Amino acid sequence: MEVRGPPSVFKPVNSKTSVMVEGQISHINKNHRKSTGFPPEQSPIESHATPSYCKVCGMAFYYMGSLIKHVKTHTKEKKLLCGVCGIFFQSTESMKDHLQTHIVDRFTCPLCSKRFACNSRLMEHMTIHTEEKLYHCPDCDKGFNKISYLKKHTRIHTGEKRYHCPDCDKGFNNSSYLKKHIRIHTGEKPYCCNNCGKTFSRSEPLKVHMRTHTGEKPYQCGDCDKGFCSSGDLRKHIRSHTGEKPYRCGDCGKGFSLNQNLKVHQRTHTGERPYRCGDCGKEYITCRQLKTHVLAHRRDTKLEDRNGVIHLDHLLTEPPMVTGGL
């Protein structure tokens, strides 16, 4: 139980507070503990009718344990400082509660009502609505609405890759790219299509896949008006109009518009033939070549049994033995 004393007994905390507190605790323990058999925290102070006051702040208590516990709060080191008004706090929770008094209605976005602790954060947020790019790359002049995005982007030009895969040591300039890459090793596919159950290691491919169910094609070609599910597919298609071939063979210099076509071409140099016929063992560079070969088996080879003719359909349904892919 505790009560507040009259204002006249309140005293400001000063440099002598610690000495005063230690002396007060020693005095209470020596002179005011009643021999009643109570536990220390419940042992009454000698005079019940008149409470004892804390000499530092004037708060009054009827029980010795409560007074001692309270007096010790004046000796606790206060490390948490509010940067707005300069008040100190003894716990993170109390400081967080206090900070809300500065945030409420202090800096509010007029367009979406989102609140911010400082004006600079509000100004940065406003660029989302205005599409204004405050920060520009000195190398390519690409704009960003957050300086953190610009810092990540500049690593593309510097080649800095501070995040490395612990399994294959591949480097990345962004920690989020590393997290996505690690799923290749773990096989984790946390994103699942609710329509067909197909799973994905990243959220972006799932979004693109969902459009195969909805029929949505938000990316339109400006030349022929053809629609695509993803921006990547649109970029590939545009090269059919521009003739751009950004992927070049390091052996012969031949150019390709698609990276997967370059990979197939490189097998002509390496001799790799990852697609093999399960019936005759013949190997091919591409899956399409294998399918053509299997159809030839179907046309040219027939087996007779007592019921007539059987086509070798098993050659078409049996999956090829693949050691590599496009």
Does 80-130 carry CATH code 3.30.1490? no
Superfamily of domain 224-270: Classic Zinc Finger (3.30.160.60)
Domains 135-212 and 224-270 share a fold: yes
- Which of 31-35, 99-103, 269-273, 277-281 holds the top average pLDDT? 269-273
For 114, the enclosing helix (H) or strand (E) is none
Give the architecture-level CATH label for domain 135-212.
2-Layer Sandwich (3.30)
Mean pLDDT across the stretch 33-62? 58
Q: How far apart are CA 199 and CA 191, in angstroms?
A: 5
Place 17 in a pLDDT band, splitting at 50, 70 and 90: very low
Percentage of the chain beyond pLDDT 90 is 22
Angle at which helix 64-72 crosses helix 17-31, to 10 degrees, equals 160
Least confident of 37-46, 105-114, 140-149, 274-283: 37-46
Please tell me which residue, 33 or 125, carries the higher pLDDT value. Answer: 125
Q: How far apart are CA 107 and CA 120, in angstroms?
A: 9
Q: Residue 24 is encoded by which pair of tokens?
A: 């007060």
For 58, the enclosing helix (H) or strand (E) is none
Domain chopping of the chain, boundaries? 2-72, 80-130, 135-212, 224-270, 275-322
Record the pTM: 0.41
